[in-house]
Amino acid sequence: MTAPVVPGAGAAPPALRRTPLRRFAGVDRLAVAGAVLLALIVLAALLAPWIAPYPEDGGSATHPLEALLPPSAEHWFGTDQVGRDVLSRVLYGARTSLLIAVAVLVISGGVGVALGVVAGYAGGWVRDVIMRVTDVFLAFPALLLSLALAVVLQPSVTTVIVAIAVTWWPWYARLTASVAASVATRGFVDSARCLGVPAPLIVFRHVLPNSLTPVLVQLSLDGGGVILTAAALSYLGLGAHEPTSEWGLMVQQGQSLFTTNWWVVTFPGLAILVTAFAFNVLGEGLRARLAR
């Protein structure tokens, strides 16, 4: 603290110093594009009550006299069967879809990573037991299992989250287990064991942080998949229901009108597409960056 500051003394040579700016510039453009697009969608979802032109249309409002108006200056995306502004509903729908995506990724990622890292580090019969359980879950086609669950439970957003999370965690468990198993053989883990660091701490401090990157990439790649699956469940009437704004539900309600009132189904469909795309681009970009 008292020593005079000599420029460059003790610090890494300039080329090695990683400023936030350098780090940002080094990130693949694709990942940046995906992150920016996703940030915009999140922002739109958060600000929906303020930026939606007709906030009350996000819910149960009805305006029978304004039903099925084509896109215009007042209603950029047109109106639906009961006269609600489609743009407002798409913005509110972003809240539902992102909530589902985040909740599913957090739950299935959390459960999968926790089980996977234990299986990967412990090996032996612990690994065998955990992996056989995940195999059982993986043996069912994911959408079918989600469907069955959604039918048993009451249709709701929570149901969608549970139904998807139940079928997704085994993938993260399997991925994490294989990464953690290879991390567990590395010198720094042996070195921690030789110090007498207790096993739970070794897992938490060394194995987990060093196993996480590929899982994070997979999670961001899967964000789009979750949104598509949630939309599919809602579309089949097993997820969100009226008057909640949800993209899959909106597509389902608008599909019979496609030939006559194309805007009712097209805009929520585009929203699904763009969001899934943003997640994928982000994930791809991260993957490319980490592969280097």
Partner 1 sequence: MTGRETGSAVLGAHRVTLAYGATAVVHEVSLTVDAGGVGLIGESGSGKTTLARALLGLLRPRSGTIRYGSRDLAALDRTGRAEFRRAVQPVFQDGSEALDPRMTAAASIGEALTTHHRIGRDRRRARVAELLDDVGLDPALADRRPHQMSGGQRQRVAIARALAVEPRLLVLDEPTSALDVTVQARILDLLERLAAERSLGHLLITHNLGVVDRLCRTSHVLFAGRVVESGPTRDLLVRPAHPYTLALRDAVPRLGGEPPRASGRTEAAPAETGCPFRLRCPLAADRCREEAPEDREVAGRRVACHRAEDVLERAGHAQRQ
Does residue 196 interact with partner 1 by CB under 8 A? yes
The residue type found at 23 is: R
Does residue 192 interact with partner 1 by CB under 8 A? yes
Does residue 216 interact with partner 1 by CB under 8 A? no
Ramachandran region, residue 240 (left: φ > 0; alpha: ψ -120 to 50; beta: rest): beta
- What is the distance, to the nearest Å, from the Cα of residue 70 to the centroid of all Cα atoms in its chain? 33
Q: Least distance to partner 1 from the beta carbon of 15, Å?
A: 11
CB closer to partner 1, 87 vs 207: 207
- How far apart (Å, rounded) are the C-alpha atoms in residues 151 and 275? 26
**Residue among 129, 188, 256, 270 that touches partner 1 (CB under 8 A):** 188
Tell me what percent of the chain is helix, strand and coil, each rounded to the nearest 5: 75, 0, 25
| Site size with partner 1, rule: CB under 8 A | 20
String of DSSP letters for 162-215 = HHHHHHHHHHHHHHHHHHHHHHHTSHHHHHHHHHT--HHHHIIIIIHHHHHHHH
DSSP letter at 89? H
**Residue among 89, 95, 206, 287 that touches partner 1 (CB under 8 A):** 206
Does residue 9 interact with partner 1 by CB under 8 A? yes
Contact range with partner 1 by CB under 8 A, out of 95-103, 144-152, 206-214, 255-263: 206-214
Which tokens is 284 given?
A: 């791809």
Does residue 191 interact with partner 1 by CB under 8 A? yes
CB closer to partner 1, 180 vs 233: 180
List Cβ neighbours of 217 (8 Å cut-off, separation of 6 or more): 283, 286, 287, 290
Does residue 26 interact with partner 1 by CB under 8 A? no
- How far apart (Å, rounded) are the C-alpha atoms in residues 118 and 199? 10
- How far apart (Å, rounded) are the C-alpha atoms in residues 110 and 112? 6
Does residue 29 interact with partner 1 by CB under 8 A? no
3-state secondary structure of 222: helix
**Residue among 43, 205, 242, 270 that touches partner 1 (CB under 8 A):** 205
Q: Least distance to partner 1 from the beta carbon of 208, Å?
A: 10
Does residue 5 interact with partner 1 by CB under 8 A? no
CB closer to partner 1, 35 vs 192: 192
Contact range with partner 1 by CB under 8 A, out of 49-57, 105-113, 118-126, 191-199: 191-199
Q: Which residues contribute to the site for partner 1 (CB under 8 A)?
A: 9-12, 16, 186-188, 190-197, 205-206, 209-210
